[in-house]
Chain A
């Protein structure tokens, strides 16, 4: 599905507004949109709202074999999923340029900056390490996906608890959360990405561009930084030429933004910790805004069950009784059983043609018939009803080759078999 095209009028207006230091949503040049951090019910799940942009991050872990060259380090895996929910332009299962760019940037921001102590994720050196997987899902795209994704990912990592493990000799036991409290990851610092968009070949700069601003921008600079003002990664795209001063200014702005966001994240984490300790319900379900008219919540409701059993009984009784009689199975050839209507395969070769077959096969058929006949005489194994015998009688003599050679009464079969034998001879 295609995205709505951007009209010339929007482009001109946006550029004119930027020149006048005005933005679509009334923000100032260096303002971030409202950031809201919500946690899910389980550990390691985090939602971030950045204005209308919305992302979700989920951290999970798994015991795997370590990489050959790093036998005592855990593995970090990042995956940014551009869900088609976020924008009609995103397609499922397709690696777009944007998703590669975002994935790479997140990896550089969180893995290459060594913000997580991967050595503490080692269980048995060279054999078992924890693989920490971070899935970031884009839910609504209104610009600046990178910043939202980096905030969500690092917050989810801080929130995550992995199960405790015990090692006794060669045996590794993973304890459930009831047995032993799960352990948080050890995180050295929290890198956060801050995006700057440039317009008119770098003359104007905006922090946290929204979707329409991203469409008209000339270039983008992403700086990942922690609160100690250490730059973890820096990337410029769009092919604009920036001056040294501009990059310095951006890094200064980034340091301010990062400390604000870090403060917010730790506050949110503290808040969640308290709520969990108090044993109250927490998570996404509790975050539904009650005051909005688009939202409604209902308490646990019992379902009236008075006549359910009666009704079920009624239906069962009224329903047609399943046929108790099972049609007797027929054995057309050794190791084969057949039930159902007709019991006669009209797709097969006609018997005239069959007579061309080798003598051995015919012999086999004959002996089989005889065996069957014997069984019938015994009367205890295969029961042949009267109706089947009638069926045989009705058949036209013009088409004797279509006779069901394996069904019907024994005498007929014998007859058929003998005629065949004669033909062969």
Chain B
């Protein structure tokens, strides 16, 4: 299984493509036989003794044995532990309802903020942006967000301050921006100094010194979706010349 998957890493796969896990005909008696283990990420599903692709995209691999399909999707499906930018839509009793672009609204307790107590409620208004993390996200339950980590610290999460612009990009671009050594991020760093918040749900929030600069950054990032690395560098270079 591992080797058949490995061969096709980087290839474009379509729903319905299959990997069968045929065992070797001969089992070596001398070698130590290890059971093969493969971890399937989004877009791959097990069906009996086969692995079936269920989304179109590029097959990716991460050491040691993780495989997933990288697709350019626009609609977000929540996953536990992911951080998103949400918009508070209603305040009802002890919870806020937060729109994060998924199939239903998530709930966010007013106690799930750093330093919040029953007396000391966080100042959150309807229409405010929150940067929060899923602690419950599965298909059968209502998703739940929190703005604290396991030790009760904000750790960068919470309600957004004033200013800045919110805009949408594809989920694929968001993942590229968040990857450990993102080229887009470093290219952008050289161009402008700005504050950038990336939500896994495809929402980006950016704030920089002026309205003009914020707009340029937003438009640059939105156009990054359909550009190769050289095209992007060329564009960034031109912007730099024009902007400086």
Listed in ascending order, the chain A residues whose CB lies under 8 Å from chain B are 4-13, 16-17, 20, 22, 24-26, 293
Contact B211 A8 (CB under 8 A): no
Name the one of B129, B211, B215, B219 contacting A7, with C-beta atoms under 8 angstroms. B129
The answer to whether B211 and A17 touch across the interface, beta carbons within 8 angstroms, is yes
Q: Complex formed: what's the CA distance from A6 to B167 in Å?
A: 11
Chain B 205-244 interface 0/1 with A at a Cβ cutoff of 8 Å (1 = within):
1000001101100110000001000000000000000000
15 intermolecular pairs with C-beta atoms under 8 Å apart: A7-B127, A7-B128, A8-B127, A9-B165, A9-B166, A9-B205, A12-B162, A13-B163, A13-B166, A17-B211, A17-B215, A20-B211, A22-B211, A22-B212, A25-B219
Question: For residues 123 through 167 of chain B, which have their beta carbon under 8 Å from a beta carbon of chain A?
Answer: 125, 127-129, 160, 162-166
The answer, among A10, A20, A22, for a CB contact under 8 Å with B166, is A10
B128 touching A8, Cβ below 8 Å: yes
- In the bound assembly, the distance between CA atoms of A25 and B99 in angstroms comes to 25
Partner of A4, one of B101, B162, B215: B101
CA distance A7 to B211 in the complex (A): 17
Residues of chain B contacted by A11 (CB below 8 angstroms)? 127
**A142: min CB distance to chain B, Å:** 12
What's the nearest-Cβ distance from chain B to residue A200, in Å? Answer: 16
Contact A16 B211 (CB under 8 A): yes
Cβ A22 vs Cβ B89 within 8 A: no
Contacts of A6 in B (CB 8 A): 127
Kindly provide the distance from the CB of B156 to the nearest chain A CB, expressed in whole angstroms: 17
Check B127 against A5 for contact (C-beta < 8 Å): yes
A5 and B99 within 8 A (CB): yes
Bound complex: CA A26 to CA B214 (Å): 11
Complex contacts, B87 vs chain A, CB 8 Å = 4-5, 7
Chain A residues in 8 Å Cβ range of B160: 9
Partner of A5, one of B89, B163, B165, B205: B89
Report the Cα distance A9→B161, complex, angstroms: 9
Seed contacts A7-B129, A13-B163, A293-B226; 4 additional CB < 8 Å A-B pairs = A6-B127, A7-B166, A13-B211, A20-B211
Q: Who on chain A is nearest to B89 by CB?
A: A5
Q: A8 near B219 (CB under 8 angstroms)?
A: no
**Interface-central residue, B101, B129, B215, by most chain A CB under 10 Å:** B215
Residues of A within 8 A of B129 (CB): 7-9
Cross-chain contact B211 with A9 (CB below 8 angstroms): no
CB < 8 Å neighbour of B164 from A4, A13, A24: A13
Which of A5, A9, A25 has most chain B Cβ within 10 Å? A9
Chain B residues near A9 (CB-CB < 8 A): 128-129, 160, 162-166, 205
- Identity of the chain B residue whose Cβ is nearest the Cβ of A20 in the assembled complex: B211
What is the interface size of chain B, counting residues whose CB is below 8 A from a CB of the partner? Answer: 22
Distance of A9 Cα from B128 Cα, bound (Å): 7
Docked CA distance A384–B165 (Å) = 87
Given A8-B125, A9-B205, A13-B165, A26 and B215 touching (CB < 8 A)? yes
Interface residues of B in 21-56 (CB under 8 A from A): none
Given contacts A5-B87, A9-B165, contact A24 B128 (CB under 8 A): no
Q: Which residues of A sit under 8 angstroms from B205, Cβ to Cβ?
A: 9
Q: Which residue of A is nearest B226, CB measured?
A: A293
Shortest distance in angstroms between B108's beta carbon and chain A's nearest beta carbon? 15
Give Cα A7 to B205, complex, Å: 11
Kindly report which residue of chain A lies nearest to residue B125, judged by CB atoms: A8
Contact with A along B38-82 (1 / 0, CB 8 A): 000000000000000000000000000000000000000000000
Contact A4 to B214, CB < 8 A, known contacts A12-B162, A13-B164, A25-B219: no
Task: Compute how far the CA of A57 lies from the CA of B89 in the bound complex, rounded to whole angstroms.
Answer: 37
| Interchain CB contact under 8 A, B99 and A4 | yes
Rounded to whole Å, the gap between the CB of B126 and the closest CB of chain A is 8
Give bound CA distance, A4 to B74, whole Å. 14
Measured CB to CB, the closest approach of chain B to A351, in angstroms, equals 57
Give B214 Cβ to nearest chain A Cβ, in Å.
7
Q: Write the chain A residue with the least CB distance to B206.
A: A13
A24 to B219, CA, bound (A): 8
Interface centre among A8, A17, A20 (most CB of B within 10 A): A8
Bound-state Cα–Cα, A5 to B86, Å: 10
In Å, the complex CA distance between A25 and B87 comes to 23
Give the docked Cα–Cα distance between A11 and B101 (Å): 18
> Shortest Cβ distance from A261 into chain B, in angstroms?
25
Return chain A residues, CB-CB under 8 Å to B166.
Answer: 7, 9-10, 13
Of residues A6, A10, A22, A26, which shows the largest number of chain B Cβ atoms within 10 Å of its Cβ? A10
A293 to B225, CA, bound (A): 12
Q: How far is the CA of A12 from the CA of B207 in the complex (A)?
A: 13
Q: How far is the CA of A8 from the CA of B124 in the complex (A)?
A: 11
Bound Cα distance from A25 to B163, whole angstroms: 18
Give the CA-CA distance A5 to B163 in the complex, in Å.
18
> How far, in angstroms, from A5 to B214 measured CA to CA in the complex?
21
Quote the shortest CB–CB distance from B110 to chain A (angstroms).
Answer: 18
Residues on B with beta carbons closer than 8 Å to the beta carbon of A12: 162-163
Expressed in whole angstroms, the Cα–Cα distance for A178 and B89 within the complex equals: 60
Which A residues lie within 8 Å of B211 (CB)? 13, 16-17, 20, 22
CA distance A6 to B89 in the complex (A): 9
Chain A, Cβ-Cβ closest to B219: A26
A12 to B162, CA, bound (A): 8
* Least Cβ–Cβ distance between B228 and chain A, in angstroms: 10
How near does chain A come to B37, taking the closest CB pair, in angstroms?
36
* B contact residues around A293 at 8 Å (CB): 226
Residues of chain B contacted by A17 (CB below 8 angstroms): 211, 215
Q: How far is the CA of A422 from the CA of B25 in the complex (A)?
A: 83
Using CB atoms, name the residue of chain B closest to A8. B127
Do the beta carbons of B165 and A10 come within 8 Å of each other? Answer: yes
Cα distance A303–B218 when bound, in Å?
Answer: 48
Residues of A within 8 A of B226 (CB): 293
Interchain CB contact (< 8 A) of A13 among B99, B127, B214: B214
A127 to B: closest C-beta gap in Å? 54
A17-B167 Cα distance, complex, nearest whole Å: 15
Q: In the complex, what residue of chain B is closest to A13 when comparing beta carbons?
A: B165
Q: Write the chain B residue with the least CB distance to A7.
A: B87
- Least Cβ–Cβ distance between B223 and chain A, in angstroms: 11
